Structure 1
Amino acid sequence: MANDDANLMWLEKYRPKTFNDVLSQQDIIVTILRFVNSNSLPHMLFYGPPGTGKTSTILACAEHMYGTNFKSMVLELNASDDRGIDVVRNEIKDFCSTQRIFATGVKLVILDEADAMTSAAQMALRRIMEKYTTSTRFCLICNYANKIIPALQSRCTRFRFGPLKEEDIRLRLGQIAEREGVVFEKDALETIIQLSQGDMRSCINILQSTFLSSGKVTCSTVYENTGNPSNEEMEQIMDWLNEEDDFSSCYDKVKKMKAERGFALIDILRQIHKRLLTRNMSRRAKAYLLEKLADIEHQFAFGGSELLNLCSLIGSFQIMKTLEVLDAAP
């Protein structure tokens, strides 16, 4: 058993097994426990950012409800893989309609990444939820609730999982690092937390990959391992964007750093966004830049070119400087 644990990814090794292990979602857990203890568990829709405990919470709930009967009473599917209408009509329907001889209570169907299901599959699922509501409960898990059809949303009690609290992530990362013998700098954990944006899964993956690749976890090794620009490199990029009046010169410098360091423009955009929020500048210039950053990110979502979007970013800063001059004029 010890060898099995040693070979596990830390993400699985330290996955919450009980409600007490789940971080930052106590209000949701208390509500679910109230449902379970009163035998009135509804269909549920868990939604929110990745790495916030959605899947771990429902698995902990299932363990609490079924114990040793877990495998016979729970059907767990990843809807991004099994998302067609045939899976709903066959596998899910067969599970819901089958009687369990040595187990009592309602069965549970867990559909992870349900926002990847086709519309036809969601419509078919709506009918099955109605037909087997006396014997089966459904838990739909997704990042974006708006991708679940209204007919399914209306049949579920919705729970929104927000980003985890930084102090909870900091404590859990410290515990994992101590158990695994990780040599780390305190500032490095803060860097991991900032880069992960409340995603515990991402935090643990960064911690493990950085330690295994570098032997220690420092700010510099975290940035190198994740491919994100460091604070010093971001300050250099910001200086070029703000101070270089020649478009071509600024473009060549940023492009060269991106190529040499392997940075993705989307990661640079996120760092620029953070800095703009606290920067002292005219309201019109700030609003313009933030709108252009949103436009560029939207282009990336549809496969936009890195180089063209880099040109758009530099051009936006050129126009922003003109707006600041105009706003400062009497």
Structure 2
Amino acid sequence: MQSPWIEKHRPKFLEDVVGNTDIVSRLKVIARHGNVSNLILAGPPGTGKTTTIHCLARHLLGKSMSQAVLELNASDERGIDVVRSKIKSFAQRKVTLPPGTHKLVILDEADAMTPPAQQALRRIMELYSTTTRFALACNMSSKIIEPIQSRCAILRFSKLSPPDVGERVRKVLITEGISFDDEAIDVLADISDGDMRVALNAAQAASVVHSHLTQRNVLEVSDIPHPRAVMTMVEHCQKSELDEALFVLKDLWKQGFCAEDIVKSVFRVVSNHSTLEEVVMLHFLKIVGQTHCRIIRGHDNFVQLAGMIAAMAIKDMEFVPEG
């Protein structure tokens, strides 16, 4: 049975980690000196937070990693009992380690921990600071209580850039012996929205059906509106060609795409549209954001999409920059 590419091709060393070069450079310095502090790794999903801390642990602990690392997913095991039993017993355990290194507790989805569990964790971090270090991976560091934040160095991961995603996907496809078009790589990088897992999962799904990846078959498995169609719709809006823009919208709707898929695709296309003037791009993004909020609140989806297109096609914008 074929294993998921996101696991099969997960980086093993810091040199292999893609994106967030400043953070990776800092961790390489820590790896050389060996004395790692408590860490909070915050950022969007699929940006390499857990992978990066695994690479650091592998560099610091080597063969001792299996005994000296405890990994828990706090979204599943987030109560105070887990902190008092599993984490405390691990912190108390004696393990032979390389000189100058510590045991490591990796808590994934740490922002899902309950407040009482976080308070108990804070106390354990104090008591066992000489033998154990903690790495907390989360999407939002603001959900980690202040006493823990003050005991940690916070590393903020950002979304991966399309070139970074495209480069890694290209290497994986070559390793797997899958042929591809450059346009397919561009689409995979675009639909990932900075999440490497999304790009690799889409590439693997397409490769199961097709021996050669093209833009078309990647879009088929990804189930998102074709970027060219969305681009055409935006360009019609830019020229105030409302009927033509609505015709494209209706066609996308008939294909079965949901309102959120269409709104997100419009956002990506507008953000990356190189020919749009900045004031027009900001105006379009404002309209798209307002439409997204109304759709989330449960208002009639197609009516909101049509209203978005109409608002974008109006020449008289609500705001004009000063100066």
Q: Answer yes or no: same fold by TM over 0.5.
A: yes
Contact in 2 for aligned 1:211/1:217 (Cα 8 Å): yes
Please say if 1:213 is aligned against 2:209: yes
2:258 and 2:48 mapped to 1: Cα distance? Answer: 28
1:94 and 1:288 mapped to 2: Cα distance? Answer: 56
1:63 and 1:280 mapped to 2: Cα distance? Answer: 46
TM-score for the superposition, normalised by structure 1: 0.83
Q: Secondary structure at the match of 1:31?
A: helix
Distance 1:83 1:296, change over 3 A: farther
Please say if 1:318 is aligned against 2:314: no
Which residue of the other structure, out of 58, 65, 88, is the alignment partner of 1:70? 65
1:282 and 1:103 mapped to 2: Cα distance? Answer: 56
TM-score for the superposition, normalised by structure 2: 0.84
Contact in 2 for aligned 1:245/1:318 (Cα 8 Å): no
Distance 1:121 1:299, change over 3 A: farther
Q: CA deviation at 1:181?
A: 1.6
Distance 1:152 1:299, change over 3 A: farther
Contact in 2 for aligned 1:281/1:324 (Cα 8 Å): no
Q: CA deviation at 1:43?
A: 0.2
Which residue of the other structure, out of 262, 270, 273, is the alignment partner of 2:267? 273
2:130 and 2:265 mapped to 1: Cα distance? Answer: 50
Please say if 1:194 is aligned against 2:186: no
Contact in 2 for aligned 1:273/1:290 (Cα 8 Å): yes
Structure 1 partner of 2:222: 226
Greater displacement, 71-80 / 27-36:
27-36
Q: How far does the alpha carbon of each residue in 1:112-144 deviate from its partner, in whole angstroms, 9 at most, with x for none?
A: 111222222222211211121111100011122
Q: Secondary structure at the match of 2:165?
A: helix
Q: CA deviation at 1:291?
A: 3.0
Q: CA deviation at 1:27?
A: 3.0
Structure 2 partner of 1:3: none
Q: CA deviation at 1:15?
A: 0.5
Residue identity in the other structure for 1:181: G
Which residue of the other structure, out of 85, 89, 94, is the alignment partner of 2:80? 85
Q: CA deviation at 1:53?
A: 1.6
Q: CA deviation at 1:311?
A: 1.8
1:282 and 1:129 mapped to 2: Cα distance? Answer: 48
Contact in 2 for aligned 1:166/1:198 (Cα 8 Å): yes
1:96 and 1:314 mapped to 2: Cα distance? Answer: 58
Contact in 2 for aligned 1:227/1:261 (Cα 8 Å): no
Seq. identity, %: 35
Q: Secondary structure at the match of 1:77?
A: strand
Greater displacement, 287-296 / 176-185:
287-296
1:327 and 1:60 mapped to 2: Cα distance? Answer: 49
The number of residues matched between the two structures is 314
Q: Secondary structure at the match of 2:180?
A: coil
Q: Secondary structure at the match of 1:99?
A: coil
Gaps of 5+ in 2: none
Please say if 1:110 is aligned against 2:109: no
Structure 2 partner of 1:30: 25
2:258 and 2:221 mapped to 1: Cα distance? Answer: 13
1:168 and 1:276 mapped to 2: Cα distance? Answer: 21
Please say if 1:57 is aligned against 2:52: yes
1:64-213 alignment runs, 5 A limit: 64-100=59-95, 102-103=96-97, 105-213=101-209
2:187 and 2:305 mapped to 1: Cα distance? Answer: 25
Gaps of 5+ in 1: 1-5
Structure 1 partner of 2:258: 264
Residue identity in the other structure for 2:260: I
Distance 1:119 1:289, change over 3 A: farther
2:317 and 2:20 mapped to 1: Cα distance? Answer: 47
Distance 1:85 1:322, change over 3 A: same
Query: Which structure shows the higher helix fraction?
Result: 1
Contact in 2 for aligned 1:296/1:309 (Cα 8 Å): no
Contact in 1 for aligned 2:202/2:222 (Cα 8 Å): yes
Please say if 1:44 is aligned against 2:44: no
Contact in 2 for aligned 1:112/1:140 (Cα 8 Å): yes
